[in-house]
Structure 1
Amino acid sequence: MTDTPLATKLKARIARDGPIGVADYMEACLGDPEHGYYRRRPAIGVAGDFVTAPEISQVFGELIGLWCAVVWQQMGSPPRVNLVELGPGRGTLMRDALRATRVVPGFRNALSVHLVDSNATLRETQATTLTDAGVPVTFHEDAQDARLPDGPTLLVANEFLDALPITQVVFVGGQWCMRHVTIADDGGFAFVADAASGPAPVAAPSGPTPQEGDVLEVCAHHARLAETLLAPRAARGPLAALFIDYGHAATAFGDTLQGVAGQAHVSPFHAPGETDLSAQVDFEHFAAACRGAGLLTDGPSPQAEFLGRLGLIERASRLMAANPARAAEIEAGALRLIQPSGMGSRFLALGVHSREVPALPGLGR
């Protein structure tokens, strides 16, 4: 198989400088300015590489929109509020959220919507999707560079954390070693454990003693997100953020790095730059990073429980009654979101908020 342009670029880098860390590999595959996956590919939807919850059922975005409206009311219904979405895909979630909140007096008049996405193609799609949004919408390439007005902020991120680059360490010979990506004997890529790279920066989970070959994943971007985006926003006004992603509630051993192409799981080394890479979110680690930045957290709760508390079944039933010709489709989509053996348990919802904001709806402490 012919190398992708990014594979060629990465092999030249490894040949010159030596093996690279898993985080560096993942960051290059997703964010390389020339060939990165998220820089150019319209990956979401039935014609893309993966389908997200907003594309499965409009009820998902509608419930998130109403959640935002309730939190705004908890903040005292301020006359201006920023509604920020990280990684908004095709704009489907925001479109559905804004439509549902038309029934909440004053909410839409207070809104200033900000969508943050590094993919220029998707930003164009979002602009088209939200042409008739009826509220001011601003598009940003990078969350850290986004010029957001001061004041109260509602932030939503669905399937955003799973794309943050991770470091992997592997337990070899009684010690944690950094895991790197190198060039394999067959000319492809391969993992290698590097004991010479020094002590691995990890806090191993309490509980089982690591066994030979165990892998632990650490995301340095968790603290960076908390300290450089969430905490500064909280210093400029009340903040409430909702993160929904697939992952685990407690730190655990395991290699979860995966590639997805054509809605199928593939090797992380498959067609670099043309394959989506992600890893399960360690919600315990992310929540701890947020609390370390002075914020409060609620949850995480399984997606099925969270959406159930927000009234998914009731809202889907009303939608089915109003659209009998689409009743089966609406029901199937709603059930897929809460399926116990699927998205309902594998996806978790975590709330993050500043201290003056009360406990967020739908989430346990």
Structure 2
Amino acid sequence: MSETLSLGDLIDMQIRQSGPMSLATYMGLCLTHPTRGYYRKTDPLGTKGDFITAPEISQTFGEVIGAWIADLYIQMDRPKRLTLLELGPGRGTLLADALRVATRASGFAAALDLKLFETNPVLIAMQREKLGNYNPHWIEDIEAIGGAPVIVLANEFFDALPIRQFVKRNSKWYERSVGLAEGKRSFGLSPTPYEEALIGEEFASAQNGEVAEIGLAAQQFMGHLARLVAPRGGAILALDYGHARTQPGETLQALSRHAPVDPLDQPGAADLTAHVDFQALGRAARMAGLTVHPLVEQGAFLSSLGLAERHAALAAANPHKAGALDTAFDRLTAADQMGALFKVLCASSPGLRPAGFAAP
């Protein structure tokens, strides 16, 4: 019988049996339930999907990332074996464009050990088609990266990890939960206050009614990942939308067909995300022993890698596409589009100087 129930039905049953669940638990079920989770069953990308990511906007995005990877490989003294890991590689578009450039570096193709952190069978099939020539290996546990030096790409990965929200009431913090009110899913608050010291000093001056949004899953994942990279050598490159510094506010959103929807309405049918707290991510990587380079906005980062020059060359070779290319370039770099909201974090082995970042 459970096979015929929707994810919403299963969540409602769990709430009736065990009481309200934390927002983090709800998000985890919506996104990664083994059979009904949003990221387990469909291709969410593109105009026919729910959202579009930078690699799908223009090939130039992946190409300059490929040049960035090649430069770092050379700085690492061209190791005989190099693991390149992408977290949530979507359709494989970013890597297809990046590897077309990176493999021009002498020794890179022979050294490459390509690993993809992915569980969605629909997307895995697309990745296999685009990246099959590079002999990729799919992993569901980042511990399986092997022992070679490693470069990690995480484009719009951390925003999709579950968050916790705490609301300040009468000078105390209460965790936001998902329960049932008159048979419908609704937000509520835990009746027991949370220890203020565990919320973090960044929220000490928050006023009553304000929200502390904590990406604990993202911080833990980054810490785990950084502890794997540190002894092997290499770097983590994370591109995502979010805040440079920890601050009060709530950013949870649900998207379906490129439009906002109620995050409680159809569990598993919409993408749930929240802004990344880059200060917290950087702290997790630094505690693991990596050097965290000064955060940079996506527009400035891509420009420093030569995106404008690559765009101009592509437009000159395809004049009939110049208008579309101009639109794509603006979308990636303009401050009122992805250029400022999206930011780029790099954590690397000490001594490396990743392109696009000022000295730490």
- What's the offset of the Cα at 1:349? 0.2
Partner of 2:151: 154
Contact 2:239–2:342 (CA under 8 A) maintained in structure 1: yes
Distance in 1 (alpha carbons) for counterparts of 2:354 and 2:331? 24
Contact 2:63–2:97 (CA under 8 A) maintained in structure 1: yes
SS at match of 2:212: strand
TM-score normalised by structure 2 residue count: 0.94
Distance in 1 (alpha carbons) for counterparts of 2:27 and 2:67? 35
Contact 2:230–2:289 (CA under 8 A) maintained in structure 1: no
Partner of 1:256: 251
Contact 1:86–1:143 (CA under 8 A) maintained in structure 2: no
Contact 1:4–1:271 (CA under 8 A) maintained in structure 2: no
SS at match of 2:228: helix
- What's the offset of the Cα at 1:329? 1.6
Partner of 2:228: 232
Match among 248, 267, 288 for residue 272 of structure 1: 267
Contact 1:37–1:274 (CA under 8 A) maintained in structure 2: yes
SS at match of 1:181: strand
Partner of 2:116: 115
SS at match of 2:294: strand
Distance in 1 (alpha carbons) for counterparts of 2:199 and 2:262? 25
SS at match of 2:295: strand
Contact 1:248–1:283 (CA under 8 A) maintained in structure 2: yes
Is 1:171–2:172 an aligned residue pair? no
Is 1:328–2:327 an aligned residue pair? no
Q: Which amino acid aligns with 1:166?
A: I
- What's the offset of the Cα at 1:257? 0.6
Distance in 2 (alpha carbons) for counterparts of 1:199 and 1:182? 22
Partner of 2:310: 315
Counterparts of 1:186-265 in structure 2, within 5 Å, are: 187-196=183-192, 198-199=194-195, 201-205=198-202, 209-235=205-231, 237-265=232-260
Contact 1:4–1:273 (CA under 8 A) maintained in structure 2: no
- What's the offset of the Cα at 1:137? 1.3
Cα RMSD (Å) of the superposition? Answer: 1.7
Distance in 2 (alpha carbons) for counterparts of 1:359 and 1:166? 32
Match among 286, 301, 306 for residue 281 of structure 2: 286
Partner of 1:89: 90
- What's the offset of the Cα at 1:197? 5.2
Distance in 2 (alpha carbons) for counterparts of 1:223 and 1:103? 35
Post-superposition Cα deviations, 1:34-92, rounded to whole Å, max 9, x if no partner, equal: 21111112101111111000000100011111101101111111121011100000000
Contact 2:226–2:289 (CA under 8 A) maintained in structure 1: no
Partner of 1:144: 142
SS at match of 1:260: strand
Distance in 2 (alpha carbons) for counterparts of 1:262 and 1:334? 23
Structure 1 regions of 5+ residues with no counterpart? none
Q: Which amino acid aligns with 1:111?
A: L
Bigger Cα displacement from structure 2, 71-80 vs 221-230: 221-230
Post-superposition Cα deviations, 1:132-152, rounded to whole Å, max 9, x if no partner, equal: x3x321122x2335x222111
Distance in 2 (alpha carbons) for counterparts of 1:290 and 1:283? 11
- What's the offset of the Cα at 1:359? 2.7
Contact 1:4–1:272 (CA under 8 A) maintained in structure 2: no
Post-superposition Cα deviations, 1:106-153, rounded to whole Å, max 9, x if no partner, equal: 22222111111121111111101223x3x321122x2335x2221110
Distance in 1 (alpha carbons) for counterparts of 2:278 and 2:141? 20
Partner of 1:16: 17
Question: How many corresponding residue pairs?
Answer: 355
Post-superposition Cα deviations, 1:142-168, rounded to whole Å, max 9, x if no partner, equal: 2335x2221110110100000111111
Partner of 1:354: 349
- What's the offset of the Cα at 1:4? 7.3
Q: Which amino acid aligns with 2:141?
A: A
Partner of 1:297: 292
Q: Which amino acid aligns with 1:178?
A: E
Distance in 2 (alpha carbons) for counterparts of 1:183 and 1:166? 20
SS at match of 1:154: strand
Distance 1:309 1:121, change over 3 A: same
SS at match of 1:45: coil
Partner of 1:46: 47
TM-score normalised by structure 1 residue count: 0.93
- What's the offset of the Cα at 1:206? 6.0
- What's the offset of the Cα at 1:18? 0.8
Post-superposition Cα deviations, 1:169-200, rounded to whole Å, max 9, x if no partner, equal: 01011111111111123x32211122415426
Partner of 2:68: 67
Distance in 1 (alpha carbons) for counterparts of 2:80 and 2:18? 54
Contact 2:172–2:193 (CA under 8 A) maintained in structure 1: no
Q: Which amino acid aligns with 2:352?
A: P
